[in-house]
Structure 1
Amino acid sequence: MSLLQIQDPKKNRLEVVVGIDFGTTNSCIAFSDDAKPFVLGGDQKLLPSVLSFDEGKWQVGKARGISIASIKRILGKSYDQIMASDAIDPKLKEIISHKDGTLKIKVDGKYFEPIYLASLIFSELKKIAERHLKQEIKKAVVSVPAYFDDRQKSAIKQAANMVGLDVIRLIQEPTAAGFAYGIQYKDTKGQYLVYDLGGGTFDVSLLNIQGKVIQVIAVSGDDMLGGDDIDHAVGKHLDISLKTAKKLKELVSPSKDATVDKTKLTWEEYEKIAAPIIEKTIKLTSSVVGLSNNLRGIILVGGSSKSPLIKKMLSKFEVEILEGIDPDRAVALGAALQAENLSRAKSHILIDVLPLSLGIEVMGGLNDKVIMKNTPIPTCVKRNFTTYADNQYAIKFRIIQGEREFAKDCREVGFFELSGLSPMPAGLPKVEVNFMIDADGLLYINASESISGVNKELVVEMQNLNQDVTDILQESFEKAEEDLNARILKEQILKAEDLISKVHKILHKLSKDHDLGTFIQRLQDAIESEDTKRIKEAYETLEAKFTPICLDHFNNQISKLLQNTKISKFD
């Protein structure tokens, strides 16, 4: 009699990892099998990112009772940032409070944290996937705007974690869309630009797609610019509700005017209202296009990119505009492909980049850039530092992001202190600092000093970020020459002050007088004048006078040490 081998079908079932596009206006969840991604859900398959509080309960996807839209726009933002931003819905600002120093939203006398509200959207997406795939979903790849910082990325991960989703990877939204095109359209090879205009954010990425390898070359964007801004502008111009303004925006076209609830919007009116907002995205796009040596096409992503006006304004780049994948679903499909790639050992390779340079504040308040903007990630960079004063027992590290030459003009990411150093002369301690950025774009720092044996992991204390990334890049470009001249001056001053300190230290040890006072004073006067040329000349003069004295001093010291020492001792 033959034996039957009985197996539990659940035991051999591959773990399902989904891809999630957590959007400002709509959210979407997808799954990929055998490199064939598809969106999960009902007929619509897009979940409006709207939360409603009705009869004491929160509901997702429908605007009724007290409703909240665009929750993504305030994740990771400070109270002051939100209140100062024109991009945040005034109605949302009215219910935001700063209770007990924590940002919360007050609804019906109760307080809710933004991360909790975002988690409700993730919960609904998780339910959609579980209903469709008929099994529990525990892991996901989640998309984020290219210009979200660590604080915002962490908020999205926390929101997903709250409903039992382990985020195995964060993927930049335009990168995910490019991934979808690269895998699904085999003839999509070469350099492509992804233009991603969502409801609340704008991202643009330059990708090099070569078969199974997709490399991000450069990114730009604005995390407070999106289609919602056009809705607000239309609503303000016509003095109508946002809901009506949005419908008018979606219906109007060059061939026909739009009418909703007896309110009419002509194409000419729409162009005048929307063009200034879209022009901001075109400027950012131009900066990235300039980095391409052979642009093949532009991939449209995000529901707001469907506007005929955007296609018209993008035509200036004279390349093909690709719409083979629905712009509303491209990001979710790409995230699903990456989920399959990571969970089932596929051979596709995705190489992302760092959107802003990462640096550390050094002597004189200068920005010592450690990892440069557009460096492929994940990456790890090692740098060595030392002390500038004798018997220094601790070193404070201030980690910054930005392109400016001085730390004060960059935004602070975090700081920590490496303490417990053994008393040593300045310059002797050897502090090794490892900067590690993972595939999610999250930062980890480890610092150690070999002689003292002390070690410290960075615990980032995120600070309020009061500038948009776009402003940071624009300001760094405008101030580039001024900053460079200021840096050269500061470095000259630091170098001159160090020489004066060394001269005083050596002269103090000598019994014989050396008349260097005039040259020292001349260098000090040059420092006060802040004249780079004058400082350089005075420095070189003092250095020329001091070098023979210094060499003579060290030769005498060595002679004393070697006196009465037999040569055989060195054998």
Structure 2
Amino acid sequence: MGHVIGIDLGTTYSAMAYINAEGKSEIIPNIEGERITPSVVLFEDDNIVVGSYAKSVAVSEAERVVQFIKRRIGSDYRILQNGRDNTPEDISALILKKLKQDAESFLNTTIRDVVVTVPAYFDDKRRIATKTAGEIAGLNVLRIINEPTAAALEFSASREVRNKTILVYDLGGGTFDITIMKVNGKDVDVVATGGDHELGGKDIDECLISYFQAEFKKATGVDPLTVLAGQQELQSKAEETKKKLSSASSARVALNVEGRQAAFKVTQSQFEELIDEIVLRTEMNIELVLEETGLTAPDIDDILLVGGSTRIPLVSKMLTRLFGKEPLRSVNPDEVVAQGAAILANTIAIESGQASPTANTALPTISDVCAHSLGVISLNDFGVPENSTIISKNSKIPRQASQIYGTIRDNQSTVDIEILQGDAKDPDDCVKLGKARLENLPPSPAQSSVEITFSYDADSILQVTGVFVPTGQSVKTKIEVQGTMSPEATQRSRREIQNLNVE
């Protein structure tokens, strides 16, 4: 197996780590010497550039730059670049290929086996799509792990943690997760998870950009966002200002767009007013997860911060007000997820006999939950199709559960079982995973019993059994959730991307 590494494939930045000779997780810098790599891809005529340079020209070369692709993973979105129709998995694979190359340069060995992290609130289609991206990049994805769980692995590996209930608040560049877990030594037991995969630091930047736009128009009478130079200037200054206001009470902003200037100061209180709604949305998610678990604020022993946006003071203020204690600042929020992924990768390598434990190695155990409910389409009392849950959100994995349904008319000869993943009542707002059918049923009255059993495991494999109770007739199907790309398309992309020059 050789070296195994952990990769945090982020919306705005990605990071990678390995376990060093002392048995400690260590960040792998990219070839440019940076500890985190912007998840931005520039398509040049002959080369593909991933990282800081691509980020620096993201506005001026907007038609050739792709960023924030993680928000599209698992969808049928397509990006036409250099005459090629790219899927989100393809773009993610280019980022992973860059990380793979840089890790190989740093460790002086071939890298193939990895653990990749995803937001806890990702559904199975997004998880499988992330794994597909790794395959296209020439990697063997040993496991997909939730980002908050990875953070807890690194947290518990670097200090003594005994019987604590920890809340992980993960506000990344493009996604938000909230996870509650019990940690005892190296054992991580996830209790519940929630979040919003359309909320993150990118949204905070956009709040600042809108404010800058208004201030510039006030000073010059011109809208700076109507020209590429203005878009790039405001985007750059928004990120710079956000970072300054993470440690200072105010920040001076000087904008220069095509010879027109505007200068003003942004105070911490102004910044907090601009982003208050975003932080409030994260607070509402926290309260929802606490309610679902029956826990209250005093039940939480520690709050662990993950993601660069958690450096914003308003986040700490909100959490301190809510829980009556300050969040921990003992881990690097940009790096802790990759480090935890490296710990799991090393654990898998040791358990498979491909790596040897160091003297101080204590292997972790992880118990996780379903991020979303699993169910079937049934008719309610008004004859309207709805999502009927069989395995509830936040159920422990592995999990088996059954539900009894009735046929809808006399002498019904077939029963179609349509399988869903999601928490909404409307089936159209859920992910459709597959179908199973009971056939050749004998004549029987309406409401004859049909028992449906789900068995779901940590590898996102769902076994579905349907039994027509009066006769015992049954049907079984195994649902391995597919991404948006077929195996043939995946292999074709892999061949094509292996021939591309990525730097």
1:26 matched to which residue of 2? Answer: 13
Question: Distance between the aligned counterparts of 1:461 and 1:126, measured in 2?
Answer: 24
Match of 1:327 among 324, 327, 333: 333
TM-score by length of 2: 0.77
Q: Which amino acid in structure 2 is aligned with residue 359 of structure 1?
A: G
Match of 1:381 among 390, 393, 401: 401
Structure 1 residues 289 and 35: alpha-carbon distance in aligned structure 2, compared to 1, 3 A threshold: farther
Match of 2:305 among 257, 277, 300: 300
For the 8 Å contact 2:249–2:267, the answer to whether it is kept is no
How much does 1:231 deviate? 0.6
SS at match of 2:388: strand
1:343 matched to which residue of 2? Answer: 349
How much does 1:451 deviate? 5.2
1:138 matched to which residue of 2? Answer: 112
For the 8 Å contact 2:125–2:482, the answer to whether it is kept is no
Question: Distance between the aligned counterparts of 1:358 and 1:119, measured in 2?
Answer: 29
Structure 1 residues 259 and 413: alpha-carbon distance in aligned structure 2, compared to 1, 3 A threshold: same
Question: Distance between the aligned counterparts of 1:443 and 1:173, measured in 2?
Answer: 23
For the 8 Å contact 1:174–1:196, the answer to whether it is kept is yes
1:368 matched to which residue of 2? Answer: 388
Higher relative contact order (CA 8 A, sep 6+): 2
Match of 1:399 among 395, 419, 426: 419
Aligned identity (percent) is 32
Q: Which moved more, 1:224-233 or 1:62-71?
A: 62-71
Match of 2:375 among 352, 356, 359: 359
Question: Distance between the aligned counterparts of 1:125 and 1:51, measured in 2?
Answer: 12
For the 8 Å contact 2:397–2:456, the answer to whether it is kept is yes
For the 8 Å contact 2:423–2:430, the answer to whether it is kept is no
For the 8 Å contact 2:454–2:465, the answer to whether it is kept is yes
Match of 2:253 among 259, 269, 292: 259
For the 8 Å contact 1:123–1:163, the answer to whether it is kept is yes
Larger Cα-atom Rg: 1
Structure 1 residues 447 and 306: alpha-carbon distance in aligned structure 2, compared to 1, 3 A threshold: same
TM-score by length of 1: 0.68
SS at match of 1:77: coil
How much does 1:434 deviate? 4.2
Match of 2:35 among 20, 35, 45: 45
For the 8 Å contact 2:464–2:476, the answer to whether it is kept is no
Question: Distance between the aligned counterparts of 2:376 and 2:423, measured in 1?
Answer: 12
Q: Which amino acid in structure 1 is aligned with residue 284 of structure 2?
A: K
Matched, 1:245 2:261: no
Question: Distance between the aligned counterparts of 2:112 and 2:203, measured in 1?
Answer: 35
For the 8 Å contact 2:163–2:183, the answer to whether it is kept is yes
Structure 1 residues 318 and 395: alpha-carbon distance in aligned structure 2, compared to 1, 3 A threshold: same
Question: Distance between the aligned counterparts of 1:462 and 1:113, measured in 2?
Answer: 11
Match of 1:210 among 159, 179, 184: 184
How much does 1:116 deviate? 0.8
For the 8 Å contact 1:271–1:309, the answer to whether it is kept is yes
Match of 1:69 among 67, 73, 93: 67
Between Structure 1 and Structure 2, which shows a larger proportion of helix residues?
Answer: 1
For the 8 Å contact 1:197–1:203, the answer to whether it is kept is yes
Question: Distance between the aligned counterparts of 1:127 and 1:435, measured in 2?
Answer: 41
Matched, 1:105 2:126: no
How much does 1:427 deviate? 8.2
Question: Distance between the aligned counterparts of 1:319 and 1:421, measured in 2?
Answer: 62
SS at match of 2:102: helix
How much does 1:161 deviate? 0.6
Q: Which amino acid in structure 2 is aligned with residue 305 of structure 1?
A: T
Q: CA deviation digits over 1:135-188, x for unaligned, max 9? A: 222221111111111221121111111022122211111111112112221136
1:198 matched to which residue of 2? Answer: 172
For the 8 Å contact 1:299–1:322, the answer to whether it is kept is yes
Q: Which moved more, 1:444-453 or 1:180-189?
A: 444-453
SS at match of 1:353: coil
Q: CA deviation digits over 1:47-103, x for unaligned, max 9? A: 11011112342111022443222111111235xxxxxxxxxxxxxxxxxxxxxxxx3
Unmatched tracts of structure 2, length 5 or more: 214-232, 257-262, 352-361, 485-503
How much does 1:24 deviate? 0.6
How much does 1:132 deviate? 2.2
For the 8 Å contact 1:32–1:336, the answer to whether it is kept is yes
Provide the alpha-carbon RMSD of the alignment: 2.9
Question: Distance between the aligned counterparts of 2:37 and 2:81, measured in 1?
Answer: 22
For the 8 Å contact 1:191–1:209, the answer to whether it is kept is yes
Unmatched tracts of structure 1, length 5 or more: 1-13, 79-102, 464-571
For the 8 Å contact 1:53–1:59, the answer to whether it is kept is yes
SS at match of 2:301: strand
Question: Distance between the aligned counterparts of 2:50 and 2:115, measured in 1?
Answer: 21
Q: Which amino acid in structure 2 is aligned with residue 139 of structure 1?
A: D
SS at match of 1:344: helix
1:519 matched to which residue of 2? Answer: none
SS at match of 2:345: helix
Question: Distance between the aligned counterparts of 2:90 and 2:451, measured in 1?
Answer: 39
1:318 matched to which residue of 2? Answer: 324
Please list, as runs of the form range in 1=range in 2, the aligned pairs for 1:376-455 lying within 5 A after superposition: 376-383=396-403, 387=407, 389=409, 391-403=411-423, 406-408=425-427, 411-426=430-445, 433-441=452-460, 443-447=462-466, 454-455=475-476
Structure 1 residues 285 and 441: alpha-carbon distance in aligned structure 2, compared to 1, 3 A threshold: farther
For the 8 Å contact 2:465–2:475, the answer to whether it is kept is no
